Chains A and B, each alone.
Chain A
Amino acid sequence: MGFGGVWRRWRPGRRRWLAGAAAGAVLVVGGAAVAAGGEEQVAVRQEERRLSMPEVPGSAGQVSIDTSFFTTGSTPRPAVLLAHGFGGSKDGERDQAERLARQGYAVLTWSARGFGASTGKIGLDAPDREIADVQRLVDWLAQRPEVQLDAPGDPRVGITGASYGGGAALLGAAYDPRIDAVSSQITWWNLNEALFPQAVGGADGVFKKLWAGIFFTTGSAGGLTGGQPKQQDGPVGCGRFSDELCAMYDRVATTGRADAEAVGLLDRSSPSSVAARIKVPTLVVQGQQDSLFPLDQGDRIAKAVAANGAPVAVDWFAGGHDGGTETSERVEGRVAAWFDHYLKKQDNDTGPAFRVTRTGGLDSTGFEAVLRGASADSYPGLGGTATRTVELTGREQSIANPPGGAPPNISALPGVGALSQLSSVGAGLAIDFPGQFASFDSAPLDSTLHLTGAPTVTVRVQADRPDAVLFAKVYDLDPEGKQTLPQQLAAPLRVTGAADGKTVTVQLPAVDHEFAVGHRLRLVLASSDLGYASPVEPATYRIALAGPLTVPTVDGLHTEAAPLPARVWVLPLLAVAVAALLLVRFRRTKVARYDPALAEVPLRISGLSKRYHGSADRYAVRELGFRVERGQVLGLLGPNGAGKTTTLRMLMGLIQPDEGEIRLFGHAVRPGAPVLSRVGAFVEGAGFLPHLTGRANLRLYWQATGRPAEDAHFEEALAIADLGEALDRAVRTYSQGMRQRLAIAQAMLGMPELLILDEPTNGLDPPQIREMREVMIRYAAAGRTVIVSSHLLSEVEQSCTHLVVMDRGRLVSSGPVAEIIGGGELLLVATPATELAQKVAELPGVGAAEAVEQGLLVRLDGMTASELVAELVKLGVPVEGVGPHRRLEDAFLSLIGGTA
Chain B
Amino acid sequence: MSTVVEQAPGYRARRTLPLRVEAVRQLRRRRTLVMGGVLAALPFIVLAAFQLGGNTPGREGRTSFIELATSSGLNFSVTLLFMGTGFLLVIPVAVFCGDTVASEAGWSSLRYLLAAPVPRSRLLARKLTVGLAFSAGAVLLLPLVGLLVGTAAYGWGDLRLPTGVTLPAAEALPRLGIAVAYVFLAELVIAALAFWLSTVTDAPLGAVGGAVFLSIITGVLDAVTALGDLRQWLPAHWQYAWADALQPRLEWGGMLQGVTLSVSYAVVLVALAFRGFARKDVVS
Contact = CB atoms under 8 A, between A and B. Distances in A.
Interface of A: 23, 27, 360-365, 370, 425-427, 478-480, 482, 516, 562, 564-565, 567-569, 571-572, 574-576, 578-580, 582-583, 585, 594, 596, 599, 613, 649, 652-656, 665-667, 671-679, 681, 683-692, 700-701, 703-708, 711, 746, 750, 752-753
Contact of B6 (A478, A482, A652, A667): A667
B256 A687 contact: no
B7 A677 contact: yes
A564 B257 contact: yes
Interface stretch (B25-33, B45-53, B143-151, B204-212): B25-33
Given A653-B115, A654-B111, A691-B29, A677 B11 contact: yes
B265 to A, nearest CB: 7
Nearest to A704: B17
A692 B117 CA distance: 21
Contact of B254 (A364, A675, A687): A364
B6 A674 contact: yes
Given A425-B165, A689-B25, A711 B117 contact: no
A543 B131 CA distance: 68
Given A678-B8, A687-B112, A364 B241 contact: yes
A562 B1 CA distance: 65
Contacts of A667: 6
Given A594-B6, A700-B25, A482 B251 contact: no
Interface in B261-284: 261, 263-265, 267-268, 270-272, 274-275, 278-279, 281-283
B282 A649 contact: yes
Contact of A688 (B107, B164, B250): B107
A674 B117 contact: yes
A576 B114 contact: no
B4 interface: yes
A672 B121 CA distance: 9
Contacts of A673: 6, 117
A672 B117 contact: yes
B240 to A, nearest CB: 5
B255 to A, nearest CB: 9
Contacts of B119: 671-672
Interface in B111-161: 111-120, 122, 161
A832 B1 CA distance: 66
B113 to A, nearest CB: 6
B108 interface: yes
A686 B251 contact: no
A516 B242 CA distance: 22
Which among A671, A690, A692 has the highest number of chain B CB atoms within 10 Å? Answer: A671
Contact of A582 (B238, B240, B271, B282): B271
A585 B256 CA distance: 32
Interface string B20-63: 01101100111000000000000000000000000000000000
Interface in B139-195: 161, 163-166
Interface string B93-122: 000000000000001111111111111101
A562 B122 CA distance: 40
Given A583-B274, A677-B7, A708-B10, A27 B229 contact: yes
Given A687-B112, A700-B24, A579 B281 contact: no
Contacts, number: 232
A674 B111 contact: no
A482 B163 CA distance: 10
Contacts of A752: 8
Nearest to B22: A704
Contacts of A594: 4, 6
Contact of A578 (B18, B247, B271): B271
A479 B166 contact: yes
B252 interface: yes
A362 to B, nearest CB: 6
Contact of B8 (A363, A701, A707, A746): A707
Contacts of A479: 166
B269 to A, nearest CB: 9
Contacts of B252: 562
A426 B164 CA distance: 7
B217 interface: no
Nearest to A584: B275
A897 B147 CA distance: 75
Given A580-B271, A676-B116, A684-B108, 14 more contacts: A370-B251, A480-B164, A482-B164, A567-B232, A576-B267, A649-B281, A656-B279, A677-B116, A678-B8, A701-B112, A705-B16, A705-B118, A711-B8, A746-B112
Which among A360, A361, A675 has the highest number of chain B CB atoms within 10 Å? Answer: A361
A687 B243 contact: no
A665 to B, nearest CB: 8
20 contacts: A360-B253, A362-B163, A364-B242, A425-B163, A567-B261, A572-B260, A585-B278, A652-B111, A656-B281, A677-B11, A687-B108, A687-B109, A689-B107, A691-B28, A700-B24, A704-B22, A704-B118, A705-B16, A706-B18, A707-B10
Contact of B241 (A365, A649, A711): A365
Nearest to A594: B4
Interface in B218-259: 228-229, 232-233, 237-238, 240-244, 247-254, 256-258
Given A689-B25, A691-B29, A583 B271 contact: yes
Given A672-B119, A676-B116, A704-B116, A360 B251 contact: yes
Contacts of A596: 1, 4
Contacts of B8: 677-678, 707, 711, 750, 752-753
A364 B240 contact: yes
Contact of B166 (A478, A578, A654): A478
A516 B247 CA distance: 13
A480 B282 contact: no
A516 B117 contact: no
Given A567-B257, A568-B256, A572-B264, A675 B6 contact: yes
B93 to A, nearest CB: 19
Contacts of A361: 244, 247-251
A482 B242 CA distance: 25
A708 B264 CA distance: 40
B108 A707 contact: no
The list of the 9 closest CB pairs from A to B, nearest first, reads A706-B15, A687-B108, A579-B271, A361-B251, A575-B264, A674-B7, A672-B119, A364-B243, A426-B163
Contacts of B282: 649, 654-655
B111 A707 contact: no
A531 B241 CA distance: 37
B283 A649 contact: yes
Contact of A360 (B166, B249, B256, B261): B249
A815 B143 CA distance: 68
Given A365-B238, A574-B264, A711 B107 contact: no
Nearest to B256: A568
Contacts of B166: 478-480
B261 A425 contact: no
Contacts of A711: 8-10
Nearest to A364: B243
Contacts of B16: 704-706
Contacts of B237: 365
A656 B123 CA distance: 18
A855 to B, nearest CB: 43
A652 B253 contact: no
Which among A582, A613, A752 has the highest number of chain B CB atoms within 10 Å? Answer: A582
Contacts of B111: 649, 652, 654, 683, 687
B29 A671 contact: no
Contacts of A583: 271, 274-275
A708 B165 CA distance: 60
B193 to A, nearest CB: 14
